[in-house]
Chains A and B, each alone.
Chain A
């Protein structure tokens, strides 16, 4: 055997030796898995080659196979019997979609992205990915290749979708973290922030895809483990959504050359970070957006000429996972020496595993190869035949004529033993904060402080660095209002210029509530994503969801218990609202360990829910900026005394214990009724109440529209007795909106909303004054929209 291939001596290895092999090779395989591999090769009476063991490790990695979400979980909650859950994903996510059973779901959870129907010619694909570990070590490259990767997911769905929209959500440490408080070996949040934004900007802008939606959150626990969520929506012809592989089809690699970059990315992301992770430079990939743009240009032409039968991207695990997945049902034979390299000297396993960017693999019937080659030549894209799909049901890899891997597809894809994991959940107790009504009669300062807090403050400096206009279809932009600078609830795109048919994209994320209960946090994230869809003119009926879990180490029962709580909420809330999941992803092991002090920290349990809604007529859309003086401001939906995990408590250094729960009966009625009011043209502007509650939502609507407001809290509908002004102003109860109604439509609107709690709070004023009267008619806020806006526009990076 070639001296470039080594064998791992596992046949006679004891448990310690097996784990040493796993750890030294960054394989992230546990003892059960090593045993399964040992058993398999004992039956074959030989040791595995490095190519084989690495292939198995990639295929079985958390990143590729999501084993935590498929494991058997023994879940115990204080005072309750232990519950056995056979897989979080099948039980709570996939089953929700099955129960909801929407006819417009074309493909869910099976392809690289979910597919839903759009119009009579096209479907939409949507996927959100994370690129957390690479972004912690090399923010610019990590984030750029994050967006590059998710674009390839759209391109690798069906027979290839055209990317039309990007969405990005980031979680960073606090920008004012003192340098001497930085965990050892980690980058300062400002540097991570800058690098990530620049990376996404340079990749997305060069690809010519509008980045029109997103969010940025800050919490000290993200300092060592920043989160980078990158999403992409694609447009695909309805008759190009299915793929297949036939024996005899050629395995063709398209795009970039292969180098040593990104080796072990998949297994690396299945481990915790520590203060030495910064030395792992080679696990981070290097991006080249123009290469990817060329691939898109070439592939979409080849797709339209029907030149290939299947496609997938080279993401985590490189060729090993792309070819392994495509050939799962047939078999595949690959010749590694044919792979174009960036430089000489790569061992066969490195070529096979490299996560070098901008590479796609397609299955091409031999008769189509010449035509494909012509297109690739014209677009200046390399296309290389690496081998062919077979009917052997084996994954056979050769290097210079020698077999370096020969694996049974069944063992590779089905041989992974199911994990059994313990999960526990205990209700935390935090100090409770009392209303400050007795201490103060003026909440203007609190409102300004909330508006200036980094989670709420304007993200304009970031948004403007992204091209959100390219492709000419973004019709509700991320910034709206009289000066184009108010915070839009969601973005709307018309993928076909001149058509009224549109797609809405929004997101919801509430990690602060996880400190009270991850169930509430997850439920609120769904409610928030849906509120944002409704607020701009969408409907629950045509909305699908994506789930992206970022969690700590799931091998620790308390972290896993939190994950169980969140997954349960995902099922309960989605089925109640009738909004199916079409795709999702998880990134676990977001923990940091200081190897000298042994100090361990996890991120807050973070679920990002992304929502996508098909809107029949863009002309029905509304924005959040108030439109004209004398119009009436209504609150829609009940307020409860729910400030646990709220931003108001946070600015006073409390967490509290009553985070906002989702009452799906109320929420569904509220959203459906309001949605039809908007579609009837009864609503001039609409903004959802989220971080900072009513107070922040009203202020944002006012200064975005350039008009003052005079409001009173006496008419706020409440689900329970609330007798303090600050709680009414800043409670973050779910399923609530503020709307602006023209006086001539007042009766029609009130009539239309019958059955839904609403209250008229006051009016838009032709002045700068922003005034709120409390429940006792006293003025509790006397400010101006200029003051409030300038607080909100406090620069994010000091």
Chain B
């Protein structure tokens, strides 16, 4: 059975095609689906095992990044999403998709989706400390975590970020709980010390608390990150491929392959 991925689109989504390609290269069957088609019922989320929310500027990021799409999902797709999560299916949000997941409360999802009647937001992705949009490649340290998407992945990854609102920000108790629950998946790194805290700009490109670049929920099945794994699928995406020995496959592809493998193992 080929795992089925729904790549969600709406007005302003713009990383949908490369996210779609990434899942295809990883061995999945994919559909690019506009949220209107989910809301109208033309497309049924339950036909899929993976939901991907790609990067972009959903609805122009008016008010704040990701907020309008998050509200739409919470209010118009609430039951479908709830069932999707209940059935142990996978959700990945990249960049704007991560912002959406945080604003729906699905991430970090510390309270647990079942206990609460209303999904609530306990962290945010705020304006970068540099106060502007920035596009650059960053080193990431993979953390010991529950995350299904990063199982057995390299200890260090190199991926591009491109955002204005990517500073992960949460109260200390939330940060402590994230650490103790092993929900932190990636931290920005300066390539020198591992699992350090509070490294400097531009290694931490946006001023994120505890250098957090990506987190998962308690189950490890919902994953959000600011860097773009779908932009590093082949060695020619790497900014220094003309001067370094690199494998043909880019660092980002493993994340999509892990998701596909999980679905094959769990749902076949």
Query: Is there an interface contact between B11 and A380, defined as CB atoms closer than 8 Å?
Result: yes
Query: Is there an interface contact between A627 and B243, defined as CB atoms closer than 8 Å?
Result: yes
Within 8 A of B (CB), among A695-721: 705
- Which residues of chain B come closer than 8 Å to A623, judged between CB atoms? 242-243
> Counting CB contacts under 8 A, is B223 at the interface?
no
Query: Is there an interface contact between A472 and B242, defined as CB atoms closer than 8 Å?
Result: no
Interface 9-mer from A48-56, A269-277, A288-296: A288-296
Answer whether A378 and B137 are a contact pair too, CB < 8 Å, given A289-B60, A480-B242, A623-B243: no
How far, in whole Å, are A51 and B136 apart by their CA atoms in the complex?
A: 51
Query: Is there an interface contact between A472 and B21, defined as CB atoms closer than 8 Å?
Result: yes
> Counting CB contacts under 8 A, is A466 at the interface?
yes
* Nearest B residue (CB) for A463: B135
Answer whether A293 and B37 are a contact pair too, CB < 8 Å, given A469-B160, A477-B239: no
How far, in whole Å, are A293 and B14 apart by their CA atoms in the complex?
A: 8
How far, in whole Å, are A484 and B205 apart by their CA atoms in the complex?
A: 15
Contact among B15, B34, B37 for A470, CB-based, below 8 A: B15
> Counting CB contacts under 8 A, is A206 at the interface?
yes
- Which residues of chain A come closer than 8 Å to B243, judged between CB atoms? 481-482, 623, 625, 627, 705
Query: Is there an interface contact between B233 and A290, defined as CB atoms closer than 8 Å?
Result: no
Query: Is there an interface contact between B236 and A475, defined as CB atoms closer than 8 Å?
Result: yes
* Nearest B residue (CB) for A293: B12
Instruction: Write the nearest CB–CB distance from A554 to chain B, whole angstroms.
Output: 39
> Counting CB contacts under 8 A, is A459 at the interface?
no
- Which 4 residue pairs spanning A and B have beta carbons closest together? A208-B14, A472-B18, A290-B60, A475-B236
> Counting CB contacts under 8 A, is A468 at the interface?
yes
Answer whether A466 and B11 are a contact pair too, CB < 8 Å, given A205-B57, A484-B239, A498-B234: no
Answer whether A206 and B162 are a contact pair too, CB < 8 Å, given A290-B12, A497-B18, A625-B243: no
- Which residues of chain B come closer than 8 Å to A621, judged between CB atoms? 242
Instruction: Write the nearest CB–CB distance from B202 to chain A, whole angstroms.
Output: 9
Contact among B18, B135, B236 for A468, CB-based, below 8 A: B135
Within 8 A of A (CB), among B132-151: 132-137
Contact among B12, B21, B132, B242 for A497, CB-based, below 8 A: B21
Query: Is there an interface contact between A497 and B60, defined as CB atoms closer than 8 Å?
Result: no
> Counting CB contacts under 8 A, is B228 at the interface?
yes
- Which residues of chain A come closer than 8 Å to B228, judged between CB atoms? 469
- The 0/1 profile, CB within 8 Å of A marked 1, for residues 7-42 of chain B is 001011111011001000100000000101100000
Query: Is there an interface contact between A379 and B21, defined as CB atoms closer than 8 Å?
Result: no
How far, in whole Å, are A380 and B13 apart by their CA atoms in the complex?
A: 13
Instruction: Write the nearest CB–CB distance from A333 to chain B, whole angstroms.
Output: 32
Answer whether A472 and B230 are a contact pair too, CB < 8 Å, given A206-B60, A290-B59, A465-B132: yes
> Counting CB contacts under 8 A, is B237 at the interface?
yes
* Nearest B residue (CB) for A207: B14
Number of A interface residues, CB 8 Å? 43
Instruction: Write the nearest CB–CB distance from A385 to chain B, whole angstroms.
Output: 22
Interface residue ranges, A against B (CB under 8 Å) = 201, 205-208, 288-290, 293-294, 297, 378-380, 464-472, 475-477, 479-482, 484, 494, 497-498, 618-619, 621-623, 625, 627, 685, 705
Listed by A's residue number, 11 A-B pairs whose Cβ atoms lie within 8 Å are A206-B12, A206-B60, A290-B57, A294-B11, A379-B11, A472-B21, A494-B236, A497-B234, A498-B233, A498-B234, A625-B243
Instruction: Write the nearest CB–CB distance from A260 to chain B, whole angstroms.
Output: 23
Contact among A378, A480, A618, A627 for B239, CB-based, below 8 A: A480
* Nearest B residue (CB) for A471: B18
Query: Is there an interface contact between A208 and B11, defined as CB atoms closer than 8 Å?
Result: no
Within 8 A of A (CB), among B211-268: 228, 230-231, 233-234, 236-237, 239-243
- Which residues of chain B come closer than 8 Å to A618, judged between CB atoms? 236
How far, in whole Å, are A705 and B242 apart by their CA atoms in the complex?
A: 11
How far, in whole Å, are A330 and B14 apart by their CA atoms in the complex?
A: 38
Query: Is there an interface contact between B133 and A467, defined as CB atoms closer than 8 Å?
Result: yes
Q: Could you list 5 further interchain pairs (A-B, Cβ under 8 angstroms) beyond the known A379-B34, A498-B25?
A: A470-B18, A470-B162, A476-B242, A497-B234, A627-B243
> Counting CB contacts under 8 A, is B56 at the interface?
yes
- The 0/1 profile, CB within 8 Å of A marked 1, for residues 116-143 of chain B is 0000000000000000111111000000
- Which residues of chain A come closer than 8 Å to B137, judged between CB atoms? 484
Number of B interface residues, CB 8 Å? 38
- Which residues of chain B come closer than 8 Å to A206, judged between CB atoms? 12, 14, 57, 60
Tell me which of B13, B25, B160 has the highest count of chain A C-beta atoms within 10 A of its own C-beta. Answer: B160
Query: Is there an interface contact between A622 and B242, defined as CB atoms closer than 8 Å?
Result: yes
* Nearest B residue (CB) for A484: B239
* Nearest B residue (CB) for A618: B236
- Which residues of chain B come closer than 8 Å to A464, judged between CB atoms? 134-136
* Nearest B residue (CB) for A377: B36
Query: Is there an interface contact between A472 and B132, defined as CB atoms closer than 8 Å?
Result: no
Query: Is there an interface contact between B239 and A465, defined as CB atoms closer than 8 Å?
Result: no
Tell me which of B25, B34, B56 has the highest count of chain A C-beta atoms within 10 A of its own C-beta. Answer: B56
How far, in whole Å, are A194 and B30 apart by their CA atoms in the complex?
A: 41
* Nearest A residue (CB) for B56: A208
- Which residues of chain A come closer than 8 Å to B60, judged between CB atoms? 206, 288-290
Instruction: Write the nearest CB–CB distance from B165 to chain A, whole angstroms.
Output: 12
- Which residues of chain B come closer than 8 Å to A625, judged between CB atoms? 242-243
Instruction: Write the nearest CB–CB distance from A165 to chain B, whole angstroms.
Output: 14
Answer whether A470 and B14 are a contact pair too, CB < 8 Å, given A206-B60, A482-B240: yes
Answer whether A465 and B133 are a contact pair too, CB < 8 Å, given A290-B57, A380-B11: yes
- Which residues of chain B come closer than 8 Å to A467, judged between CB atoms? 133, 135, 162
Instruction: Write the nearest CB–CB distance from B59 to chain A, whole angstroms.
Output: 7
- Which residues of chain B come closer than 8 Å to A475, judged between CB atoms? 236-237, 241
Tell me which of A201, A293, A470, A623 has the highest count of chain B C-beta atoms within 10 A of its own C-beta. Answer: A470
- Which residues of chain A come closer than 8 Å to B15, judged between CB atoms? 208, 470-471
How far, in whole Å, are A619 and B160 apart by their CA atoms in the complex?
A: 21
Query: Is there an interface contact between A465 and B135, defined as CB atoms closer than 8 Å?
Result: yes
Tell me which of A206, A464, A482 has the highest count of chain B C-beta atoms within 10 A of its own C-beta. Answer: A464
Query: Is there an interface contact between A378 and B18, defined as CB atoms closer than 8 Å?
Result: no
Answer whether A201 and B133 are a contact pair too, CB < 8 Å, given A469-B228, A498-B21, A622-B242: yes
How far, in whole Å, are A612 and B18 apart by their CA atoms in the complex?
A: 24
How far, in whole Å, are A467 and B55 apart by their CA atoms in the complex?
A: 12
- Which residues of chain A come closer than 8 Å to B242, judged between CB atoms? 476, 480, 621-623, 625, 627, 685
How far, in whole Å, are A527 and B211 apart by their CA atoms in the complex?
A: 47
How far, in whole Å, are A627 and B55 apart by their CA atoms in the complex?
A: 34
How far, in whole Å, are A476 and B237 apart by their CA atoms in the complex?
A: 8
How far, in whole Å, are A164 and B147 apart by their CA atoms in the complex?
A: 34
How far, in whole Å, are A380 and B69 apart by their CA atoms in the complex?
A: 14
How far, in whole Å, are A676 and B21 apart by their CA atoms in the complex?
A: 33
- Which residues of chain A come closer than 8 Å to B37, judged between CB atoms? 378
* Nearest A residue (CB) for B161: A469
How far, in whole Å, are A498 and B20 apart by their CA atoms in the complex?
A: 13
Instruction: Write the nearest CB–CB distance from A287 to chain B, whole angstroms.
Output: 11
* Nearest A residue (CB) for B18: A472
Tell me which of B36, B55, B239 has the highest count of chain A C-beta atoms within 10 A of its own C-beta. Answer: B239
Contact among A378, A465, A471, A477 for B34, CB-based, below 8 A: A378
- Which residues of chain A come closer than 8 Å to B135, judged between CB atoms? 464-469
How far, in whole Å, are A115 and B186 apart by their CA atoms in the complex?
A: 44
* Nearest B residue (CB) for A479: B239
- Which residues of chain A come closer than 8 Å to B162, judged between CB atoms? 205, 467, 469-470
- Which residues of chain A come closer than 8 Å to B133, judged between CB atoms? 201, 205, 465, 467
How far, in whole Å, are A324 and B11 apart by their CA atoms in the complex?
A: 31
Instruction: Write the nearest CB–CB distance from B29 to chain A, whole angstroms.
Output: 17
Instruction: Write the nearest CB–CB distance from B31 to chain A, whole angstroms.
Output: 14
Instruction: Write the nearest CB–CB distance from B117 to chain A, whole angstroms.
Output: 30
How far, in whole Å, are A199 and B193 apart by their CA atoms in the complex?
A: 39
Within 8 A of A (CB), among B54-106: 55-57, 59-60
Query: Is there an interface contact between A293 and B231, defined as CB atoms closer than 8 Å?
Result: no
* Nearest B residue (CB) for A474: B237
Query: Is there an interface contact between B57 and A472, defined as CB atoms closer than 8 Å?
Result: no
- Which residues of chain A come closer than 8 Å to B36, judged between CB atoms? 378, 380
Instruction: Write the nearest CB–CB distance from B107 to chain A, whole angstroms.
Output: 23
- Which residues of chain B come closer than 8 Å to A293, judged between CB atoms? 11-12, 14
- Which residues of chain A come closer than 8 Å to B14, judged between CB atoms? 206-208, 293, 470
